[in-house]
Structure 1
Amino acid sequence: MCDEKGCISKDIQKQIKFLINSEIRLKILECLFSSSQTIKSIQTQTNLNLSSISINVNDLEKNGFITIKNDVISLTNNCKLLLINIYNLNDTINLIDDNKDFLNTHIVKNYQFRGLSNLSQLKGCKLIESTTYDVFKTTRIIKDLALSSKSSKTIFPYMHPQLIEMLDYWAENDVDVKLILDEKVSHLFRDAIKEYGSLKGNISVKTISRKIEFALAVTENKMFLGLYKDDGKFDYNAVYISEDLEAINWANDVFREYEYMSEDYEVIK
C-alpha cells in the first residue's frame, strides 16, 4: 500500500486491517469516536450483546487502540488519527466511484494541486451538466456565482463570455475580486479592461507562467470546479458546485497554493 510519499509501513497496514476486519469493532469505534463510553452505553447504542462488546474491547485495549479508566473507555490519539484517515479514504472512494464516468474522461493530475490528497472534502459537491435544452447552464451558473458574492477568488484558464457583465457587478457592488490567470488569458483580460474603460472596484490579478488545466472559483458561501477533458479542451458543459463548508475550505486551500506560485497581485484600474 503506497502513496505519493512512499509505501505505508507494514505496521500501519496491520493496524488498519485489525480495525476494519470486524464489524463489531467498527461499531464500537464509531461510538467512541465522538466521546468516551462505558460498555453499557455502547451496548445501548449498538444493540450488540455484552459478551461480544467485552471481548472486542479487551482486544482493542491489548492492541493499544483504547484506554479504560474507572470503566470509561476512550480512544487513544493514535486510534483517532487512524480512524480519521480511514473515514476520509472511505469518503474519497465513494466520491470517485460516484463520479467515475466523468473523472475517467477528464484530466485530474497530482501536479495540478496538492488538494487531490484531500479529495474527501469534495464529497458534498454536485456535478452540474449542460443539456441539449439548456446548453448555457454551466456558463450561467458560473456567472450567477460571480454576481452574488461579496468576495471572489478565481482561477480561470479561459475568458468567460459574460465578463463585461461581471465587471459591471463587481465595480457597482465593490466586490473584492482576486483572479489568477495564465499568461495568455491575462493578456486577453487586460485588453478587455482597456476596451471597458475606467474600472472602479477592488480587482486584483496574478499571472502564472504554468498552464492551468482547471477552473476554480470560491466565494464566501459557494465554490465551483471545472476540468479539462482528455482531448485537452476545457469542458464548458460540466462543473462541480457546492455550498458545503469542507468543499469551500478545499477550494480556498487550492487557491492559496496557486497564489504562492504566481507573481505579485496587480490592482486593475
Structure 2
Amino acid sequence: MDLKRDEYHEIKDEISFLTNSLVRIKILICLYEKGASVKEIKEKTNTNYSSVTSNINKLDEKGYVIKKQDKYYLKTSTRIKLINILSLNENLKFLNEYEDFLNDHDMKALPQEAFAELPVMRNVELIQSDRLNPFKATDTYKRAMTRQGRVCAICSYLHPECKRIISAVMEQETGLNLMVYKEVAKYIQKCAMNYQQHDEIRNKYFNIKRLDYEPKIAMVVSEKEIVLSFHRIEGVIDKNSCFISTDQTAINWGYNLFKEFERNDDKKYVSMQHLILEKLSQEEDEELDERCIAQADDDEEEYDEDMEWVI
C-alpha cells in the first residue's frame, strides 16, 4: 500500500473541507436521503439561514451538491464520501475505546480485509471474566454454541464444558459447522460419538473440519450474535475475554470471515450424523452376531442332549 505526496494533500484537503464545519456535515447528512430546500435544511439542522446559505453555496461551488429548481441534492460520489467519513468516525471511536485490548492481542490472525473491517462490530461489548464470575467469557461461548439456527464456529481451545455443549447441540435441530484444531477435534468427535441419544438423532447438520494448524482466533457466529476472541501477544488464547455483538453488520462480517477461513483450507467436513449412524449400524451388526452365536450355542447344546437320549 503506497500513497504519493500529491494524493495525500488531495485527500487531506477534501476531508478538511467536508469536516471542518459542523454545519456542513449536518447539511450533508440532511441531504443524504432526499433533496431539500434551504428553508427545509434550516429547519432540519436547526441552523440559522445565513450559515445554511453560506455552506450550501460552498458545497455547490465545489461540486458536492446539485441544485434542481429550489432544492439541493447530494451527488452520488458525495454520498459515498459521506458514508466513508461517518464510517471513519465510527471506526475511530471503536479503536479508541478498545485500544488497550487490541494492543495486547495478536490481530495478525485476521486476514487483512477482515482486519480493516473489524470496527464494523457495532454495539459491541467486551466481556471479561473477573473474580466474581471467572467463567463469564467461557459461558458466553457456551450460550453462543448452542444457539438455534445456522451456527458457524472456529475453536482454538477445548472448552471446559465441551461434553455438555456437544450434548446440547446433538439434542436440537440446528446447523453447526465447526472448524477446529485436529487435536481438539479428536476429543469433540469422541464426545459426539459417545453421546447416548434417547430417540432418533435430531441434529442432522453437525459437521467438523479438522485443521492442521491452531487458529489464532476463537469465534462463534449465529443469526443472533457474534462472539470473538484472540490470542494474546504472548501466544496463548485469551479465555477470559471476548467481544460480543448482536448488530447485523457485525454478524455478516463474522459469516464472511468464517467463509474466508473455509476457503483457505481444502479439507472436507466430517458429518457427525453419518459417523454416529455408522457406529449404530456396526453396533447392531455386532449385537446380531452375538445373538446368532448364542443361538448356535443353544442349538448345539440341544443337539448334544438329543444325541445322549438316542444313545
Residue by residue over 1:132-159, the C-alpha shift from the partner in whole angstroms, topping out at 9 and shown as x without a partner, is 1111111112112222323310011112
Aligned to 1:172: 171
- 2 CA distance for matches of 1:206 and 1:67? 54
- 1 CA distance for matches of 2:192 and 2:102? 35
Give the Å deviation of 1:162: 1.4
Contact 2:167 2:195 in 1 (8 A): no
Contact 2:109 2:217 in 1 (8 A): no
Aligned to 2:253: 250
Residue by residue over 1:69-123, the C-alpha shift from the partner in whole angstroms, topping out at 9 and shown as x without a partner, is 0111111111111111111111111011111222221111275452222123113
Aligned to 2:28: 29
Q: 1:196 to 1:110 in 2, by over 3 A?
A: closer
Secondary structure of 1:189's match?
helix
- 2 CA distance for matches of 1:178 and 1:203? 6
Q: 1:72 to 1:209 in 2, by over 3 A?
A: farther
Q: 1:49-198 alignment to 2 at 5 Å?
A: 49-109=48-108, 111-112=110-111, 114-196=113-195
Contact 1:92 1:123 in 2 (8 A): no
- 1 CA distance for matches of 2:78 and 2:218? 37
Aligned to 1:261: 264
Q: Which runs of 5+ in 2 are unaligned?
A: 276-311
When structure 1 is superposed on structure 2, of 205-214 and 222-231 the one drifting more is 205-214
Q: 1:13 to 1:210 in 2, by over 3 A?
A: farther
When structure 1 is superposed on structure 2, of 183-192 and 99-108 the one drifting more is 183-192
Give the Å deviation of 1:243: 1.3
Secondary structure of 1:34's match?
coil
Q: Among all aligned residue pairs of Structure 1 and Structure 2, give the percentage whose two residues are the same amino acid.
A: 28
Give the Å deviation of 1:192: 4.0
Q: Which runs of 5+ in 1 are unaligned?
A: none
Contact 1:113 1:257 in 2 (8 A): no
Q: 1:138 to 1:43 in 2, by over 3 A?
A: same
Q: Read off the aligned partner of 2:233 and give its amino acid letter.
A: D
- 1 CA distance for matches of 2:222 and 2:239? 20
Aligned to 2:300: none
When structure 1 is superposed on structure 2, of 115-124 and 134-143 the one drifting more is 115-124
When structure 1 is superposed on structure 2, of 117-126 and 235-244 the one drifting more is 117-126
Q: Read off the aligned partner of 1:228 and give its amino acid letter.
A: H
- 1 CA distance for matches of 2:211 and 2:69? 59
Q: 1:156 to 1:112 in 2, by over 3 A?
A: farther
Q: Which has the higher helix share?
A: 2
Give the Å deviation of 1:196: 4.4
Give the Å deviation of 1:227: 1.3
Give the Å deviation of 1:191: 4.2
Contact 2:166 2:191 in 1 (8 A): no
Aligned to 2:3: 7
Q: Superposition RMSD on alpha carbons, in Å?
A: 2.1
Q: 1:170 to 1:90 in 2, by over 3 A?
A: same
When structure 1 is superposed on structure 2, of 198-207 and 221-230 the one drifting more is 198-207
Q: 1:74 to 1:110 in 2, by over 3 A?
A: farther
Contact 1:114 1:254 in 2 (8 A): no
Q: 1:73 to 1:208 in 2, by over 3 A?
A: farther
- 2 CA distance for matches of 1:6 and 1:55? 37
Contact 2:95 2:119 in 1 (8 A): no
Q: Read off the aligned partner of 1:227 and give its amino acid letter.
A: F
TM-score by length of 1: 0.90
Largest Rg, 1 or 2: 2
When structure 1 is superposed on structure 2, of 77-86 and 138-147 the one drifting more is 138-147
